[in-house]
Structure 1
Amino acid sequence: MHRALIFAVILFAATITAFAQDGNTLKLHITNNETQKGVAAATVTVLGTDLQATADQNGKVEIKGIPNGEQVIEIVSHGYESIELKLNFPLADTAEQAVIMKITYEAGEVTVSSTRTGREIEAEPTRVEAIDEEEVDEKINMRPANVSMVLHESTGIQVQQTSPTTNTQSVRIQGLDGRYTQILKDGFPSFGGFSGSLSVLEIPPLDLKQVEVIKGPSATLFGGDAIAGVVNFISKVPEAKPVTSMILNQTSALGTDLSIFNSRKFEKIGYTLLGSVNYQRRFDVDKDDFTELPATRAVSFNPKLFFYFNSRTTLAIGNSTSYQTRKGGDVFVLNGQADSNHQYFEKNKSFRNITTLNFDHVFGDGSRLNAKQSLAFFSRDLTTPNYAFGGRQFNSFTDVSYWKVFGKHALIFGGSAVYDSFRERTPSLSPRNETRAAFGAFIQDTVDLNERVSLEAGLRIERTKDYGSFALPRVSFLFRLTDKLTSRVGFGMGYKTPTMFTEEAEILLFRNVLPVGTNLDAEKSKGGTFDLNYRGSIGEKISYSVNQMFFYTEISDPIILRSNGGGSYAFSNAASRIVSKGFETNARFEYGFAKLFLGYTFTDGKAGYLPGTRKLTLLPTHRVNSSLVLEKHENFKAGAELYYGSRQTLDDRSLTRSLVEVGLFGEKTFGKFSLFINAENIFDQRQGRYGQVVFPPHQNPTFAEIYSHTEGRVFNGGIKISL
């Protein structure tokens, strides 16, 4: 009897021990150190065992069957610093443990903010292209004064010059007019309307962490203006280690740039500070007495304060101020030597001030509240010898959103209000004042349907002043076909309320352009993208990725500007649609310290109201982007770039010549500073070499449509300091 009892006790103890050994469970919630959102697909391994699990879309993971004793838990995710935890099992506290992973910003593994999910780009159902900090830094060497070069060399994006004398520019995506592209800075839309053609010229790039591009209708999260797509410039945030960087640049085209960035984070407060100065002398490369680059004076000052109330609550308050004068035209006039034959000039004087507030709070359950407010003021005066146009624009943007996980679903819902007012400084008999207001509510759901398929779907309902209400759905799928092959499919709808500030009106300097009025219909769009992305390797030394994307966008009731026969120009809704469709191919190869980028874009853009072939103007059907970069980190960087654009259709339906552009660049680092040199367009491809740009009479000229560079070959070089 006693022997049986002893045996039963031993058996019971062994059972309990075995159960304890197999029953230890570890629950983790893994979050991003900057966004406090879950790190999807993080891999958790109990070293020395075969126990491993992957975090879900919310960053949560559970591992069962962990043996007793001290165990080392390894947590790994692309783009983050790996973590090792030493834990003794059984745990005294079996509740879910919080783990925070720090972003490393490795190339190709970045977290995007434009979709508001905080997911890594590889796990995001919406197709987002990210130009990382390394690429931005490379483009800063080429053009430190503004972000035009950052965008110019991306597939599917054109930075289109709108004035031959003052070099104003707009951003086109997939061949569509610049007014269909939403330009954001840290999620704030303060760069449209009257200020649009100067926007990319007034954003210094030195404080940028990355640039995010969403192509195709994106109105669900960003409102009606995002028909062709969204470009979101993301600023750097302060870190505990102080950062100071400076760049001084000089160009052969008589331009000088100086930019300084400084940032630091303390326990309860942090700051970033950017200052930029650009001085450009008038530049007439073809000696026709008219400038290709205007005389420019530009100053920008952007301070931002960050308040860290606790680990979960942050308030960022920023202010961006810029002042710019651009004067081009007859060089004799600019030299103070005007006479009866030398009279023409074109002067832009602008002032911009943007104040932003961004409040972010993470609740105890992991949900998140974000509130944004911006107030933007823009003043611009445009003057020629016998004409002047000027005005003031005020913009207010308010956005509140709440993010929370419900089971497998990560929901974002919120609302926004946009108010935009333009007042002409010297109104004519037909005042061209504009007031736009829109109030919207939106919801978006992101869910991993299974290990292979993720879905992101959203809907925005927006009410506008004068133009009614709009329902704007959007849906995106991510298919993980294999470990190396993924596919994304997206569809969305958008709208654009009528405005006088289009590329066509800008080219006319708004002269004799009649007000829009309230009798027009809003432009409406629908479209989508489909892509395949493959990552692989050749042997052990060559890695590569290939992306093939197809796009389609259709705009109904497009607003066009036409002469009314009485010397004036009036806006109207065209009866036929604009359709832009095509595809982009991108390939990237890496071998040691060499990187090769190849890009090709085919764009078939047509408008039913245009004669002949109906092709959209100033749009190359074929475009090639390529770049070879040799780089050893903190040592040197060198490379070559080649770009090709096929013939473009002009307003009179004639064709331009095709264009080839080649550039070379190099940078050598010596500890805390580096020297750089860049040769842009070394074979001097410019429009003035192939035809007249300025037409007589000399004292009151007209100008050709601009389809290429006007300034030609430019060398630049300088010094960068990083402390």
Structure 2
Amino acid sequence: MKIIFISVCLSLFCNLNVNAQIKGLVQGSDSTTKKPLFNAKIKLLNAKTGVLTSEEGTFEIVLPKNLPDTLVITAMGYHSDSIIVRKNDRFVSLNIVLYSENLLPEIIVEYRKSTHGISRMKTLHVEELTSGELRKAACCNLSESFETNASVDVSITDAVSGAKKIQMMGLDGVYTQIQMENIPYLRGLESSFGLQSISGTWIESIQITKGTGNVVNGYESMAGLVNLEIKKPKEMEKFFANVYQNIFGRSEVNLNSGQIINDKWSTGTLAHASKVYGNIDHNHDGFRDLPMGDNIAFMNRWDYGGKNKEIQFGINAYQDRKVGGQTTFYRGLGIEPNPNSSYGVILNSKHIDIFAKTGFFGKKPMQSLGIVYNLKYQDMNGQFGIRPFSGIEKRAYINAIYDDIISTSDHKIKVGMSLVALNIFQKADSLSENRNEIVPGIFSEYTFTGSRFTGVIGARYDYHNLFGSQFSPRIHAKYTLSEKTDLRLTTGKGWRVPNYMIDNISLLANSKQWIAPLNTQPEISWNFGGSIVQEFTLFNQKANITFDFYHTLFRNQLVVDRDVSLNTIVFSNLKNSSFSNSFQTELSFSPIKNFDVRFAFKILDVKAKYGGEIRQQVMIPRQRGFINLAYKSRDKRWFFDFTCSVFGSSRLPVQVDPSNPSNEIFDTKSKIYPMINSQITHVYKKWEFYLGGENLLNFKQQNPIVDAQNPFSTKFDATNIWGPIMGINIYTGVRFSIIKKK
């Protein structure tokens, strides 16, 4: 069967004769109501082809082989509009709104612009952050790119390494599938420290999907999916530079350059370098608040757009070196950590990533074959005090996707196959594991698109050489209740193979003994949920309110039990004994021109069985409130951004009783605390100057390290981190851009 399937795909690969198509809906608006527009003209400028909309305002147009192209939409009595159609826009549906000629042009601009929002045209609940949203904060790397977003939380894992992790719907970031342009990223060894390996200035947009994603993207999406779109060579700046400096001694430089070689070839180069040289200890516990070190990152990518095919390929490399721990520890001085000297933290990490995509198109409409390739090598090593860790990962990935329609474009189908080959070695203290994985998979997905209802039914079958067969069905549906109301529902299964050592490497920053699981088993979960998005008018401006709820039930989860005692951390497999409930509501509106407001509030209920009792999982705030205010001046030269988050209390693991160190305390709670960030940006010609502050209320977790004076004692613990350990951070920077001439 596998041979037949591969032969069919290869046949399609060699003989495919396809072309892409785009369809959409055109509506007219007078700022309060919308109606479908009949006989609106849809024209592709370069291809010189066009169509007219139907009585329902819908249209379908075949895309040319040479993209990008400009889609121009015109209708009598309405302002014309245009959209740049790119290669990754094939087979998407557009919702186009033309505004009445009675509206002022500047009002229309305000309606159109949005740096953040949920796509109404997508079946799944997809929240998009554009590069404009990322510029509201420093966003030096991916870990800092969610500061103006309420759906994804970022927290530090310990008080000595500077590592950060994301949480989505109350679950650890390992349950969120992170991709770079639909290629798996930040998995395996990268899960602990990889968030800082992608510069924020490289990112064009971020798509955040709640619930399980499409089966086409793989089987590891359990809580959600985050896809990073990197700047494309043809569309990025001809030259871009960003320089950043903060008061903690962190300096960064980012350089981007996109070059168009000819009408078919283009290339983009992105580079990043940063260094932390401040030996800072503001709380006077003898430990650095932020590790010293440096990192460099580089990416070079090439794009080819031919008559019947397109090719993308590139390379991404990264190296990171950190030294943390006590302020008296310097690796460069030859001082090695041991019980008779300083407590030191050392981290060395490097990876090289080769990626490629090929796509084939021809004369027959609505068919395509795309193949994604990826090779990765990752090497990391270091130590927390006298506890060493290391890991080596070699990974190969290929994913082939065939798109077609059944009779009409209302019925679409995707079929494909994937292969993951992995060798991963990991060692933490005295524990080690070497694992070889081969996971071939096949998948199929059917999409029905009606006037109000869109449904996606997909399933994939994967065979793991160590754990056998896994069948993963997923269903997504969207129903348009009214012109301004969308209802989405989703359910599906996800699974992953845990790397319990690397996934929890920061827990080496204490003296507790690790009790390894009896055996490694796949983590398996089912996710159920949905959302309602309502658009309405407030202060004579468009406003949106969203409600979403998701429930994740684990059939099997590898749980980290930190409540057993002060001296041990136990890893164990739980069957049907852990779950997560996530509720979030978000309101966005503009009370006055050029002033955008977003409020959000979410409640998390994440529990698992510890010692026979269902208890709240540790280090997860039960509530979070969020406010984002963004104002820009009339001349678009001044931008003011303000973000405030209030984090609720979270349950802490077993603690030392301060009044009696020989006693243990259970079920203690962290404090409720605020986090306020703000930034001012001034634009002058090709220059942008920005000044910002983080943690402006100067809230800090008191005594984040237990028994800091005795770092090699049995009570030493730097892992009970629930809040910020750094005080006010003031930063400044400058951006310089040279845009390509059209």
Which TM bucket (shorter chain)? Answer: 0.7 to 0.9
Q: Which residue of 2 aligns with 1:708?
A: 723
Residue 640 and residue 611 in structure 1: after superposition, are their counterparts in 2 closer, same or farther (change >3 A)? farther
CA RMSD between the two structures: 3.5
Q: Which residue of 2 aligns with 1:273?
A: 269
CA distance in 2, matches of 1:374, 1:51: 41
Q: Is the 8 A contact 2:325 2:343 kept in 1?
A: yes
Does residue 350 (structure 1) correspond to residue 349 (structure 2)? The answer is yes
Quote the offset at 1:47 in angstroms: 6.3
Match of 1:169 among 139, 164, 179: 164
Match of 1:254 among 246, 249, 252: 249
Q: Which residue of 2 aligns with 1:124?
A: 122
Quote the offset at 1:545 in angstroms: 0.7
Residue 143 and residue 459 in structure 1: after superposition, are their counterparts in 2 closer, same or farther (change >3 A)? same
Residue 37 and residue 78 in structure 1: after superposition, are their counterparts in 2 closer, same or farther (change >3 A)? farther
Quote the offset at 1:490 in angstroms: 0.9
Quote the offset at 1:173 in angstroms: 0.9
Does residue 313 (structure 1) correspond to residue 309 (structure 2)? The answer is yes
Q: Is the 8 A contact 1:505 1:561 kept in 2?
A: no
Q: TM-score, structure 2 length as denominator?
A: 0.80
CA distance in 2, matches of 1:38, 1:445: 18
Q: Answer with 327-336 or 269-278: which moved more.
A: 327-336
Residue 272 and residue 604 in structure 1: after superposition, are their counterparts in 2 closer, same or farther (change >3 A)? same
Structure 2 residue matching 1:299: 3-state secondary structure: strand
Quote the offset at 1:322 in angstroms: 0.7
Residues 260-339 of structure 1 mapped to structure 2, 5 A cutoff: 260-265=255-260, 266-281=262-277, 282-310=279-307, 312-334=308-330, 336=333
Quote the offset at 1:603 in angstroms: 0.8
Structure 2 residue matching 1:81: 3-state secondary structure: strand
CA distance in 2, matches of 1:110, 1:79: 24
Quote the offset at 1:426 in angstroms: 10
Does residue 697 (structure 1) correspond to residue 710 (structure 2)? The answer is yes
Residue 99 and residue 192 in structure 1: after superposition, are their counterparts in 2 closer, same or farther (change >3 A)? closer
Quote the offset at 1:602 in angstroms: 0.8
Structure 1 or 2, whichever has the larger Rg, is: 1
Q: Which residue of 1 aligns with 2:24?
A: 40
Quote the offset at 1:296 in angstroms: 1.9
Does residue 577 (structure 1) correspond to residue 577 (structure 2)? The answer is yes
Residues 586-605 of structure 1 mapped to structure 2, 5 A cutoff: 586-590=586-590, 591-605=592-606
Structure 1 residue matching 2:451: 3-state secondary structure: coil
Quote the offset at 1:224 in angstroms: 2.9
Quote the offset at 1:241 in angstroms: 8.0
Q: Is the 8 A contact 2:625 2:647 kept in 1?
A: yes
Quote the offset at 1:330 in angstroms: 0.6
Structure 2 residue matching 1:489: 3-state secondary structure: strand
Residues 177-192 of structure 1 mapped to structure 2, 5 A cutoff: 177-192=172-187
Quote the offset at 1:233 in angstroms: 0.8
CA distance in 2, matches of 1:555, 1:483: 37
Residue 570 and residue 612 in structure 1: after superposition, are their counterparts in 2 closer, same or farther (change >3 A)? closer
Taking CA–CA contacts closer than 8 Å with sequence separation of 6 or more, which of the two structures ends up with the larger relative contact order? Answer: 2
Residue 422 and residue 674 in structure 1: after superposition, are their counterparts in 2 closer, same or farther (change >3 A)? same
Q: TM-score, structure 1 length as denominator?
A: 0.82
Residue 337 and residue 399 in structure 1: after superposition, are their counterparts in 2 closer, same or farther (change >3 A)? closer
Q: Is the 8 A contact 1:249 1:718 kept in 2?
A: yes
Q: Which residue of 1 aligns with 2:424?
A: 422
Does residue 362 (structure 1) correspond to residue 361 (structure 2)? The answer is yes
Q: Which residue of 1 aligns with 2:381?
A: 381
Quote the offset at 1:131 in angstroms: 0.9
Residues 358-507 of structure 1 mapped to structure 2, 5 A cutoff: 358-366=357-365, 367-406=367-406, 407=408, 408-424=410-426, 431-448=432-449, 450-501=450-501, 503-507=503-507
Q: Which residue of 2 aligns with 1:643?
A: 645
Aligned residues: 647
Quote the offset at 1:268 in angstroms: 1.7
Structure 1 residue matching 2:723: 3-state secondary structure: coil
CA distance in 1, matches of 2:429, 2:614: 39
Deviations 1:652-698 (A, max 9, x none): 2210001111122100011000110001111111213x665553414
CA distance in 1, matches of 2:433, 2:78: 54
CA distance in 1, matches of 2:627, 2:259: 37
Residues 129-278 of structure 1 mapped to structure 2, 5 A cutoff: 129-139=127-137, 142-144=138-140, 146-218=141-213, 220-239=215-234, 243-265=238-260, 266-278=262-274
CA distance in 1, matches of 2:490, 2:245: 44
Residue 446 and residue 658 in structure 1: after superposition, are their counterparts in 2 closer, same or farther (change >3 A)? same
Residue 521 and residue 463 in structure 1: after superposition, are their counterparts in 2 closer, same or farther (change >3 A)? same
CA distance in 2, matches of 1:138, 1:631: 11
Q: Answer with 208-217 or 150-159: which moved more.
A: 150-159
Structure 2 residue matching 1:558: 3-state secondary structure: strand
Quote the offset at 1:638 in angstroms: 0.5
Quote the offset at 1:447 in angstroms: 1.2
Give 5+ residue unaligned stretches, structure 1: 1-34, 62-71, 84-97, 112-119
Structure 1 residue matching 2:364: 3-state secondary structure: coil
Aligned partner of 2:718: which letter?
F
CA distance in 1, matches of 2:565, 2:644: 44
Structure number with higher strand proportion = 2
Does residue 719 (structure 1) correspond to residue 699 (structure 2)? The answer is no
Q: Which residue of 1 aligns with 2:4?
A: none
Structure 1 residue matching 2:190: 3-state secondary structure: helix
Structure 2 residue matching 1:292: 3-state secondary structure: coil
Give 5+ residue unaligned stretches, structure 2: 1-18, 28-36, 42-51, 64-72, 85-90, 97-108, 655-666
Q: Is the 8 A contact 2:316 2:354 kept in 1?
A: yes
Structure 2 residue matching 1:230: 3-state secondary structure: strand
CA distance in 2, matches of 1:539, 1:597: 14
Residue 708 and residue 576 in structure 1: after superposition, are their counterparts in 2 closer, same or farther (change >3 A)? same
Quote the offset at 1:535 in angstroms: 1.1
Quote the offset at 1:306 in angstroms: 0.8
Quote the offset at 1:639 in angstroms: 2.1
